[in-house]
Structure 1
Amino acid sequence: MASGFCSLGLNVTSLLSSHALARLVVLPTLRWRSSSISMSPRLCISRALSAATSPVSSSFTWDDVIETGRAEYAPRNSSDLTGFLEKVDRCNRGSEKLAEFIPFVIEEQIVGYIHKGFFTEYLREFHGIFTFAHNGSFPDRVGGYVTLNLMFQKPEDRTRAVADVIKILGDKGIIPGIRNELYPVKSSFNAPVLFSLERAAAPFFGLKGYGVHMNGYVKKDGQKSLWIGKRSLAKPTYPGMLDHLVAGGLPHGISCGENLVKECEEEAGISKTIADRAIAVGAVSYMDIDQYCFKRDVLFCYDLELPEDFVPQNQDGEVESFKLIPVAQVANVIRETSFFKANCSLVITDFLFRHGFIKPEQLGYLDLYRRLRNGDCS
């Protein structure tokens, strides 16, 4: 069901007939009725929204990680992949809530999904920016889909108009964690960019997001070990949790390779000469609905074999510390705990497949492999 829902983004010609487009109302003025928002009984759920977007934190130490990683600590049968499947499920919550979202449409392409009972109520206040169109396929009071005013024909015009909205909603605390980092809005990875949107707002619009995640590993005495980072407690999202050596979202106007080199320097002090050796090894994907936010992410995976004497040094203050841990122990930590930032578990699990740490003889092998790509990889 999840894949079918996402596949709507490939073609919406039938949804957007010429008659439907003709009914779009163009209201070029931007209006914000803050008093009506604060007085609306239906919108007295900001606390619930805060709960949905509040960061997850953990107080575990590296000693806890190492202890958990020891093979003798792990209580499960090593042939059982249930613990890994649980982590995949954690990234793919909320499929039963798909009906609560309606499409966000630009130029007859579905680029996202917006919660019809919460976030649309805020967008309705911006009459000159957003338009709600009704369609028989979506027989509800909110309407069939959300689009932008047709007066915004160019990507840069759409970017500026929506940026004004995000600024107001950010100041109101409705969209927390504004980063001043733009993400491209498009129907698929290779499709044209229709406009750019603040990164923190992407889950509220259900946009397809892309990122680069790199497993940095060392081979010594026949054993492979992974460099693992522990996120800074000052991070607005997932403070104190475990992370890859290098990872980051893919902003507008930069390629995956260029972004990886940039993130390598910022997060781990890896020079371009070494970072250029990273190998692209595929992608994982997931779709996660958490109350009013819908994350549809594709993570491009990279492997980088590092010199034995390399020691990462964080440059941007986002990583508290690093630890080099044998891959088998990292696997135990993923299987037995929730110490890792959720989507990192997927990328490392994919590494375990490719490097032979998960084998076909293990129960659930094919199911786990398939579900690492549960989202729409387009």
Structure 2
Amino acid sequence: MACNPHTLSLRFRSSFFSLYNSPLSPRSLPNTLLRSSLSSQSLNSTIHRSIATVSASKFTWDDVFNIARSRNDSSDLRGFFDKIEICNRGSEKRNEFISFVIEDQMVGYVHNGFAEYLRRFQNVFIFFQNNSYGNHADNHVTLHPNLETPEERTRAVADVVKCLGEELIPGIRNELYPVTSSFGIPAFFSLERAAAPYFGIKAYGVHMNGYVERAGKKYLWIGKRSEVKPTYPGMLDHLVAGGLPHGISCGENLVKECEEEAGIPSSISNGAIPVGAVSYMDIDGYRYKRDVLFCYDLRLPEGFIPKNQDGEVESFKLIPVSDAANVIQKTQFFKPNCNLVIIDFLFRHGFIRPEEFGYLKLLQSLRSGDCS
């Protein structure tokens, strides 16, 4: 497929690069300002780009430990609610999206603005006026009927993503995600990971809490992401986490990520226990993230020391679970979706109790997205 060099307007290019280089970050905004700004699509985009691509995380482990050990009201859950809210922005913007339909199945959502770029590829995308799929715009987009097989669809859409390029879809990784209407069914085709939110497809990942029990007290292994990571550089992360690519099971992917990210051999990682899932829905400009994270717990031997193998983690520290909870409540040091998985851990291990005001609401909010 030939690409038109003028596909992207100069105005878009200019606005993108000014956005990309913005110094704003959620950590630099008071919580009240952050909350009030969530209704603004332009500021949403600025915040997302900043936290994802500009290192707004120039903190040290000393900063983490100083905050972790500060006094905290364990019955106040507001800090947890704030972190879940950050992962679930933009619900009022859903009417700006149209349904993406394959073989009469709704697989995603496409923003009206992004759809204008796709309309230029008439041999790949077809647009219809129809309200059958319950969307607000009374229309939907599908793939051209000549694209009959998953392989043909994958190649055709990949060509479109390549033509649109980094200026419209930043962070292309050459990693494919399956496009399905729900987890576990055969994929209609596979899509570049970076493009997944621009097509609003469900994306799945595996996140593992690696913990140690010592003298009756639980500790979490926490990683600090490399400062050269293209996404969320320098922020705190789980011991092991990763997206779920096409053609690999959750368990297989977890074992692979354990070896790559923390040097955990399969003889240990095979003991990881699947404990459920969390989900969130985040609308940010053209992006509609519908993510489901499969959660795992792995109790590690006291003497085990994780060691990163792929250069994506700067260092690891073993932190009391209650201290990690304190950091989540008081800072935005953690990569945003990691907060949800650790909050889920806090529920399951009794660190958040039913006596605390908002217990059930917080528990329900961990699955604010389409968990299917």
Shift of 1:32: 3.9
List per-residue Cα deviations over 1:64-84 (Å, max 9, x = no partner).
100111142x3xx32111110
Task: Give RMSD over aligned pairs.
Answer: 2.1
- 1:358 pairs, out of 344, 352, 356, with 352
**Cα deviations across residues 190-240 of structure 1 (Å, max 9, x unaligned)?**
222000001011011111000000000000011100000000011110000
- Unpaired runs of at least 5, structure 1: 1-29
Q: Secondary structure at the match of 2:354?
A: coil
| Aligned-partner Cα distance in 1 for 2:351–2:168 | 43
Contact kept, 8 Å, 1:49 with 1:291, in 2: the verdict is no
Q: Specify the code of the residue in structure 2 equivalent to 1:60.
A: F
Give the Cα separation in 1 of the matches to 2:70 and 2:13.
50
User: Aligned pair 1:103/2:104, yes or no?
Assistant: no
Q: Specify which of 252, 255, 278 is matched with residue 258 of structure 1.
A: 252
Q: What are the residue-to-residue correspondences of 1:71-220 with 2, within 5 Å?
A: 71-72=70-71, 74=72, 77-116=73-112, 118-136=113-131, 144-171=139-166, 173-220=167-214
Distance 2:18 2:294 in 1: 32
The match for 2:366 is: 372
Match of residue 310, structure 1, among 304, 310, 333: 304
The structure 1 residue matched to 2:343, chosen from 333, 340, 349, is: 349
* Residue of structure 2 in register with 1:67 after alignment: 66
1:35 alignment partner, SS class: coil
Partner amino acid for 2:248?
I
Does residue 1:55 correspond to 2:50, yes or no?
A: no
Aligned to 1:343, the other structure's residue is in SS state helix
Preserved CA contact (<8 Å) 1:177 1:200: yes
**Larger RCO (CA under 8 A, 6+ residues apart):** 1
Aligned with 1:267 (options 257, 261, 264):
261
User: CA 1:247/1:301 → structure 2, altered by over 3 Å: closer, same or farther?
Assistant: same
SS, match of residue 360 in structure 1: coil
Residue identity matched to 1:364: G
Q: What is the deviation of 1:34?
A: 3.1
Flag the 1:42–1:121 CA change in 2: closer, same or farther, 3 A: farther
Q: Which amino acid aligns with 1:334?
A: I
Shift of 1:342: 0.5
Structure number with greater Rg is 1
Pairwise CA distance, 1:55: 1.8
Aligned residues: 343
- CA 43–268 in structure 1, closer or farther in 2 if over 3 Å, else same: closer
Q: Which runs of 5+ in 2 are unaligned?
A: 21-45
8 Å CA contact 1:217, 1:227 repeated in 2: yes
Q: Which residue of 2 aligns with 1:282?
A: 276
Deviation at 1:168, TM superposition (A): 1.6
Q: Please tell me whether residue 46 in structure 1 is matched to residue 33 in structure 2.
A: no
1:267·1:315 contact (CA, 8 Å) conserved in 2? Answer: yes
Q: Give the distance between the partners of 2:357 and 2:18, measured in 1 at CA.
A: 38
Shift of 1:134: 1.2
TM-score, scaled to structure 1: 0.86
